Amino acid sequence: MTVQLQFRDLTLGYDRHPAVHHLSGAVEEGALLAVVGPNGAGKSTLFKGIIGALPPLAGGIERGGLAVRDIAYLPQVADIDRSFPIGVYDMVAMGLWKRAGLFGGIDADGREQIRKAIATVGLTGFEDRALATLSGGQMQRMLFARLLLQNARVIVLDEPFTAIDAKTSEDLLALVRHWHGEKRTILAALHDLDLVQAHFPQTLLLAREAVAWGATRDVLTPQNMLKARQMCEAFESEAAECKVPEAV
């Protein structure tokens, strides 16, 4: 299999304080990989390293010949300023920026692509709605529509199913499965272990360092989850703040 992402003794952090330590491993092209672990385990930090928003403190990331702008990224909804004065249509249209340029116009074909993406996620009729008026599920549907337009070979999803309704989760999971069927490489930070076990064949269990990485059934064991909890407690000054989902 072709390697899409290669981590070589990767350390990432902020103000020279490491948040991900000495991570080595490979993500194969076409992988559907869940990244799980306790809060503060470094999942979002790892994703910011993958998209080039955070330079390594040590080691490196090889992206299989892709430029960082060729990787589609879904941030956590909490990271988006919902007071920003932009509507659904324009937010989705930003998925075409690589083709049109930041200040380029969108032609008739582009407008049709935007219309189809909005329809695919079930938001037809919401084109003029402001971000502040959207529910959590509608917001996530809009962001997935933007991902559709990016048409990327690598897709990085940071907590894509948190705080949304079951129907939206089901619909967006169907999109993830569709992308996987197209042999795109998908990484998703997740907390719901039932969802991981049902839909993600591979898992990286992270607690600032890699605890386990491989087939989901082999990674999400009680022993590995206990080890992740212990590693979390070693990193945090207050062990009570370290919470890891229970293995099932």
CATH of the domain at 190: 3.40.50.300
Q: Which amino acid is at 192?
A: D
Amino acid in position 227: K
Last residue of a domain, which of 128, 152, 176? Answer: 152
Kindly give, in sequence order, each residue whose CB lies less than 8 Å from that of residue 219, ignoring residues fewer than 6 positions away: 203, 204, 205, 212, 213
How far is the C-alpha of 187 from the C-alpha of 31, rounded, in Å?
8
Kindly tell me the burial class for residue 87, based on how many C-beta atoms sit within 10 Å of its own C-beta (0-12, 13-18, 19 or more).
middle
Residue 167 burial class via C-beta count within 10 angstroms: exposed 0-12, middle 13-18, buried 19 and up = exposed
245 and 193: one domain? yes
Domain residues for the domain of 91 are 77-152
Whether residue 33 contacts residue 210, with contact meaning beta carbons closer than 8 Å, is answered with no
Model-wide pTM > 0.95: no
In a domain, 122, yes or no: yes
Is residue 179 one of the residues assigned to a domain?
Answer: no
| Residue at token pair 């919401």 | 126
Same domain flag for 53 and 88: no
In the chain, which ranges are continuous DSSP H helix? 43-50, 88-93, 97-100, 108-120, 136-150, 166-181, 193-199, 216-219, 222-235
Residue 125: per-residue pLDDT: 98
Residue whose structure tokens are 């989850």 = 225
What is the token pair recorded at 33? Answer: 């990989």
Residues 39 and 161 in one domain: yes
Residue type, 8: R
Rounded Cα–Cα distance for residues 157 and 138 (Å): 16
φ, ψ of residue 36 to 5 degrees: the values are -125, 165
Distance CA 173, CA 160 (A): 9
Local confidence pLDDT in tens for the 248 residues of the chain: 799 999 999 999 998 888 999 999 999 999 999 999 988 899 999 999 999 999 999 999 999 999 998 999 999 988 888 889 999 999 999 999 876 655 567 889 999 999 999 999 999 999 999 999 999 999 999 999 999 999 999 999 999 999 899 999 999 999 999 999 999 999 999 999 999 999 999 999 999 999 999 999 999 999 999 999 888 777 765 433 445 555 54
Helix or strand (DSSP H, E) at 189: strand 185-189
Encoding tokens for residue 35?
Answer: 């990244």
CA 101 to chain centroid = 24
Shared-domain flag, residues 50 and 161: yes
Are 50 and 187 within 8 A, CB to CB?
A: yes
Pair (26, 139) in one structural domain: no
Distance CA 20, CA 180 (A): 27
- Residue 236 sits in the same domain as residue 161: yes
